[in-house]
Amino acid sequence: MEIKEMSVEQLEARKAEIRAEIDNEDADLDALEAEARGINEELDSRKAAEAKKAEIRAAVAKGEGEVKETFKTEERKEMFGIDTIEYRDAWVKKIVGRDLNEEERSALSAAANVIPKMTVDAVWDKLVKKSELLGKVDVTQFPNYVRFPVATTNNAASSGAVGASITESSDVIGYVDLIPNEYVKLLTVGADIEHMAIPAVHDWIVDNLVGQIRYAINKDILVGSGTNALKGIYTSVSSTTLAASPTKASFLGVMAALGSNYQEGAVWVMTPKMFFETVMGLTTLNDYVINDGFQYKLFGHDVVLMSEALQSSKENVFFGDPKAYKVNIFKALEVKPFESATTTNFQFRGACLADGELIDTSAWVRYTQT
């Protein structure tokens, strides 16, 4: 956890731990010294801020007791705003059934138990990763149904003399409607979660719920059925045959099949087996494969590795413009706790509302290995 995200109590507790750790034979004294310095600076900064607030309170309070009380009320509201650590911790304590003090109960009630902003931000950071399809497609966040216009007939632009009459184009516009589908994950954990630190509980819930939901959405972007799920690229694009033993020319042929309008920003999608065994096994491609910290490129285009590219026991290679695929996240994450009636376990239900579809089928090509 970052120092700035820690409460004063957590900072003091960490200082005590550092004092104990410096006596260990294998202690990294430089790292511990740097951490201790950072903690002290953060504590000094908070003390200075509190001192400044005290000065302001004193100035405002002179002869105006009513204003003084208003300031205190505003200060309490600020301390438990939905974007604060204090509110986040109170929210987590409530969903795991721990006791709340009066201020925590009031803050949650006033905010209608809304998910903390820190949690929402953490969810989004973990949900949309740049190396995965969801991080490359066009993602929006509208709470209501979404309609995207699509040109089913789109005639080319024409040129003419300045001032000449214009012939009306017979373009035809259709629509793609996105409606919410629910992606759900249920977590079960033992009662010993009550002994975990609140920040650790928060991170555990976010990591586990979001990780599973993110996987399901990424999978459906590629191969979703479109029935109570995103409609995948696989079902939207017809297949062309890929040789049983592909060569450099085979992969160049895949690229050549995609229109020039979609080449910039296009990405590959294939299984790890296809990439590591076939692509990287071709010595003729040695100069065209780049590994940048496990971010792979082929002929200068990003490679997204997905086991789901294997369908009906056949390898599929996709190449296309990810921005032609639209995803709308109607609700990033909703968390609800449940207690088991027969065990001491806790259960957490995470739900995300999303839909997506490829709005331009010419923007992708798919090759299936025979």
pLDDT at 69: 45
pLDDT at 149: 79
- Measure the CA–CA gap between 124 and 328, rounded to whole angstroms: 13
The answer on 122 and 110 residing in a single domain is no
The answer on 347 and 275 residing in a single domain is yes
| Residue 162 counted as domain residue | no
The answer on 368 and 231 residing in a single domain is yes
| Residue 58 counted as domain residue | yes
Interval 44-83: pLDDT, tens: 888 888 777 777 766 665 544 444 444 444 445 456 788 8
Helices of type H across 22-64: 29-61
| Residue 70 counted as domain residue | yes
Helices of type H across 188-325: 198-223, 233-236, 248-256, 272-273
pTM for this model (two decimals): 0.69
CATH number at residue 183: 3.90.1690
Q: Which of 106-120, 131-145, 199-213, 244-258 has the highest mean pLDDT?
A: 244-258
pLDDT at 73: 47
Interval 295-352: pLDDT, tens: 899 999 999 999 999 999 999 999 999 999 999 999 877 777 777 667 777 788 888 9
| Residue 342 counted as domain residue | yes
- As to burial, measured by CB atoms within 10 angstroms (0-12 exposed, 13-18 middle, 19+ buried), residue 54 is exposed
The answer on 153 and 110 residing in a single domain is no
Interval 209-239: pLDDT, tens: 888 999 999 999 999 999 999 999 999 999 9
pLDDT at 240: 97
| Residue 163 counted as domain residue | no
Percentage of the chain modeled with pLDDT above 70 = 90
Higher pLDDT, 187 or 327: 327
| Residue 164 counted as domain residue | no
The answer on 105 and 189 residing in a single domain is no
Helices of type H across 194-232: 198-223
Least confidently predicted of 243-247, 285-289, 331-335? 331-335
Across 49-171, where does the E strand assignment appear? Answer: 138-140, 146-153
Select from 25, 49, 77 the last residue of a domain.
Answer: 77
Task: Quote the mean pLDDT of the chain.
Answer: 84
- Measure the CA–CA gap between 248 and 289, rounded to whole angstroms: 11
The answer on 140 and 97 residing in a single domain is no
Instruction: Give the pair of three-digit tokens for residue 9.
Output: 């109590």
pLDDT at 296: 94
Higher pLDDT, 94 or 228: 228
Q: What is the mean pLDDT of residues 149-165?
A: 74
Say if residue 360's pLDDT is above 50.
Answer: yes
Predicted confidence band at 258 (pLDDT cuts at 50, 70, 90)?
Answer: very high
pLDDT at 62: 57
How would you label 200-210 residue by residue, b for 16+ Cβ within 10 Å and e otherwise? ebbebbbeebb
Least confidently predicted of 194-208, 278-292, 353-367? 194-208
Higher pLDDT, 157 or 37: 37
pLDDT at 67: 43
- Measure the CA–CA gap between 204 and 212, rounded to whole angstroms: 12
pLDDT at 153: 65
Residues in a beta bridge with 325: 358
Residue numbers of the domain that contains 85: 80-114
Instruction: Give the pair of three-digit tokens for residue 91.
Output: 């929210």
Say if residue 112's pLDDT is above 50.
Answer: yes
- Measure the CA–CA gap between 175 and 147, rounded to whole angstroms: 6
- Measure the CA–CA gap between 361 and 365, rounded to whole angstroms: 8
